Structure 1
Amino acid sequence: MNRTITLNRNLINFGLPLGLLAVLIFLMKSSFIEGNDTLSLAVTADLLLTVPLVYFLLIRKTRIPKTTVVPMMVLGLLIGSYFLPKESQTYLELFKSWALPVIEISVLTFVIIKVRKTIITYKKLKGATPDFYDTLKNVCSEIVPAKSVALLVATEVAVIYYGFIDWKRKEIGSNEFTYHKDSGTPALLGGFIMVIGVEAIAVHFLLAKWSLALAWVLTALSLYTAIQVLGFARSLSKRPISIGTGALLLRYGIMNETRISYSDIETVELSKKELEKDELTRTLSPLGENESHNVIIRLKRENTLTGIYGFRKEYKVLGLHVDKPGDFQEKLENVIRQSV
């Protein structure tokens, strides 16, 4: 009975705003809106304000996150951009230019503040500092119901956070191990950023002779890529490998991670030999064979390696690089013996 009521309630919560959007689409495709500036303003206001407001009033007393009003507003923006005639998009363009950046910055600020508050609360209760990216994913899951979208948002926020905000040196605990100091990956990623910068400038001036708009689009994409790579590179030093309580947490910045129960570990081998080429043999580094490994972990059963934006790969053998492989092996094997 309760399930039926919840289903009907959700049908109203989402069905009514979508119904309003359908009516607005019908109106935008009609001839009434052509050359009618007042109607264009009214439709734009309905798409960006009225529909999100109706949605908010419907969900305000439910468990649906209030922040989902923003995606509803973005949906209205996308619908308006597609269905509203170009000559009637004056107010829509004003919203894109002035209001949308403010909303994006506000959402980013809200997420980071909430994550930091969660971390502070956790630290007071548990006496330990949780991983920022793990906390961020949990917070985004609360804000955005769709898991795939939540991971996308979490990754984008993490890139900005690690790349531009978190410049404090990470204190490495006794149960944590770094993997970036003796690895060539930071230098490789740094070189990649430089290549992107040089190439972007050269391509920009070359394309500007034919199309200035295309030149700026490609330059913006290059800048976005460079920011992504910077965030990935800086996250390496912020997310060490951790021999935790009950499980081994293997991380490679925000690019790859996996959690392995100690009971699932068969062997921990110090080796730089080439890995077998099969579907269940992976490397912790997304660079694969382009980055050397010095530790090979073999499991009794398959496990999951989670990559950027939540992409998953199964494995039973995992190669990884650790700055102090001997200490890592010794401590891990001691913990495994104690957990048996």
Structure 2
Amino acid sequence: MHAPRLFEKKIFVYGLPILFILFTSILAISPLMQKHPKLAIAVTYDLTLTAPLLFLFLSKKKAKNKLKTVPFFIMGILLATVLLPENQQEHVNYIKTYLFPVVECAVLLLVLYKIYKSVRIFKYNSKQSEDINTIINQSVHEIFGTSKMSYFIASEIIMLYYLLFSWKKQKTTHKAFTHHKENASIALCCGFLLIIVIETFTFHILLSKWNGIAAWMLTATSIYTAFMIIAHMKVLIQKPSVLTPKNLCLKNGLLANMNIDLKDIDRVEACSKELKSVKFKIANLGLSKESHNHNIAIYFKQKQTIDKAYGLKEHCDVLVLHLDDKNRFINELGAALETIVPST
């Protein structure tokens, strides 16, 4: 019930200002403008001020929504410039000359304040947790809320952190288990990087003969993808899965991670065959729904959540994964489970 209500609320908050802008735009190009030229003043201020203020009022003036009013303001200026005749743009020019710089400065100050606030939150969260992913996620969510955009921002910051700043394997006092040495994860990533370099160079030359902008857009997308792959490889190497006395923290680079309370684990066993079940939801830490390269299966007492990149989540009753030292993992996890739930 909560999701449909939230969706309906967003439609109301965004839909009403957009409908207002559409109605005003139609009025600007209607014959009424020729009969009543003074309507241009009302159209100008409706597009540039009334629509943004209407959105701000409907969104209850939340701090995180203040920046979202700026696109409405800019869109209003653009529409007024395009739709109104040049001889009726006197008030549009006033807004461009006097009001737009004020809004620009206000946005800059708000962004600087958010940066200052984010630094303070980041420092506070760094004292509460040692995991950089947790610190970044908590900091971003405290600033921007728990919207899809905040998950996207957090994922991008995590990617940039590992790409630019993380160069050493993180030390841990708990039992660590790697998952990249025996499978082809690193080799596959290197293969993708090689393909991206060759294909980008070739397609850039071909596209530039047709459209230079399209060629550079493709190149920028390819470079961004290459950065993501490099960051993913670094996380694979630097952040192994960890077993603590109370939790099991599973990692798969930038793709997914999972924090499991040991009390929720039923059993663990070696498994390399494909599992299929109608009763249980089977999942893995990779991109595809099916897994053909696993050597361990973990069964849960109740559904668990896999946190994937960009805020995506998946629930499962059974998790299949690949670890380099499966026997040590099974023994260590089995011993940890016995201390929590004594065998009968």
Number of the residue aligned with 2:3: none
Q: 1:147: Cα distance to partner?
A: 2.7
What is the one-letter code of the residue matched to 1:227? F
In structure 2, C-alpha distance between the alignment counterparts of 1:103 and 1:188, rounded to whole Å: 45
- Equivalent in the alignment of 1:73: 70
Corresponding residue of 1:328 = 329
Compared CA separation, residues 107 and 24, structure 1 to 2 (3 A):
farther
CA drift at 1:262: 1.9
The alpha carbon displacement at 1:150 in A equals 1.7
What amino acid is the match of 1:303?
Q
Contact 1:21–1:47 (8 Å) recurs in 2: no
Question: What is the alpha-carbon distance in structure 1 between the residues aligned to residue 319 and residue 173 of structure 2?
Answer: 23
Q: What amino acid sits opposite 2:140 in the alignment?
A: C
* Residues 280-289 or 161-170, more deviating: 280-289
C-alpha separation between the residues in 2 aligned to 1:40 and 1:212? 38
The residue that corresponds to 2:201 in the other structure is 201
- Percent identical among aligned pairs is 21
Secondary structure of residue in 1 paired with 2:210:
coil
How far apart in 2 are the matches of 1:287 and 1:18?
A: 36
Q: For 1:184 and 1:112, how far apart are their aligned partners in 2?
A: 38
> Once the 2 structures are TM-superposed, how far is the Cα of residue 78 of structure 1 from its aligned partner?
5.9
Is 1:304 aligned to 2:305, yes or no? Answer: yes
Residue 119 (structure 2) pairs with residue 120 (structure 1)? no
Contact 2:247 2:260 in 1 (8 A): yes
Q: Which deviates more from structure 2 when the two are superposed, residues 202-211 or residues 295-304?
A: 295-304
1:276 partner amino acid: L
Kindly report the root-mean-square deviation, in angstroms, between the aligned alpha carbons of the 2 structures: 4.6
CA distance in structure 2 between the aligned counterparts of 1:240 and 1:306, rounded to whole angstroms = 16
Task: Decide whether the 8 Å contact of 1:265 with 1:298 is kept in 2.
Answer: yes
Q: Rate the CA distance shift 1:24–1:209 in 2: closer, same or farther, 3 A.
A: same
Query: What CA deviation, in whole Å up to 9, does each residue of 1:219-278 have, x standing for no partner?
Result: 22222222222333322234332223533222212311223232332222234x222145
Identify if the C-alpha distance between structure 1 residues 143 and 194 changes in structure 2 by more than 3 Å, giving closer, same or farther: same
| Unpaired segments ≥5 residues, structure 2 | 1-8
Q: Residue 151 of structure 2 aligns with which residue?
A: 151
Deviation at 1:203, TM superposition (A): 0.7
Contact 1:172 1:240 in 2 (8 A): no
Q: 1:234 to 1:151 in 2, by over 3 A?
A: same
- Name the SS for the 1:237 alignment partner: helix
Q: Which moved more, 1:219-228 or 1:238-247?
A: 238-247
Q: Distance in 2 between matches of 1:180 and 1:67?
A: 40
* Higher alpha-carbon deviation: 330-339 or 252-261: 252-261
Q: Deviations over 1:6-39 (max 9, x none)?
A: xxxxx9xx97x9988876665555257x9xxx99
Q: Distance in 2 between matches of 1:81 and 1:190?
A: 45
Instruction: Quote the Cα distance in structure 1 between the aligned partners of 2:181 and 2:77.
Output: 50
Q: Distance in 2 between matches of 1:67 and 1:247?
A: 34
Counterpart in 1 of 2:339? 338
Instruction: Indicate if the aligned counterparts of 1:293 and 1:319 stay in contact, CA closer than 8 A.
Output: yes
- Taking a change above 3 Å as real, the CA distance of residues 21 and 285 of structure 1, as seen in their structure-2 partners, is closer
Residues of 2 paired with 1:184 and 1:191: CA distance? 10
Rg larger for = 2
1:139 correspondence with 2:139: yes
Query: Given the superposition, is the C-alpha separation of residues 146 and 313 from structure 1 closer, same or farther in structure 2, using an over 3 Å criterion?
Result: closer
Which residue of 2 is the match for residue 172 of structure 1?
172
What stretches of structure 1 of length at least 5 have no aligned partner?
1-10, 123-128
Separation (CA, whole Å) in 2 of partners of 1:81 and 1:110 = 32
Q: In 2 relative to 1, CA 230–68 (structure 1 residues): closer, same or farther, beyond 3 Å?
A: farther
C-alpha displacement at 1:193, in angstroms? 2.1
Q: CA deviation at 1:309?
A: 1.9
Q: Summarize the alignment of residues 180-191 of structure 1 with structure 2, pairs less than 5 Å apart.
A: 180-191=180-191
TM-score in terms of structure 1 length: 0.70
Deviates more, 1:292-301 or 1:155-164: 292-301
2 CA distance for matches of 1:318 and 1:245? 20
| Cα distance in 2, alignment partners of residues 107 and 238 from structure 1 | 33
Deviations 1:129-167 (A, max 9, x none): 432212222222222234322212211221111112222
Residues of 1 paired with 2:167 and 2:178: CA distance? 17
- Mapping of residues 1-340 of structure 1, within 5 Å: 30-31=28-29, 59=61, 64=62, 66-74=63-71, 76-77=73-74, 85=82, 113-114=119-120, 116-122=122-128, 129-271=129-271, 273-278=272-277, 280-286=281-287, 292-340=293-341
Would the alpha carbon gap of residues 117 and 67 (structure 1) be closer, same or farther in structure 2, given more than 3 Å must change?
A: farther
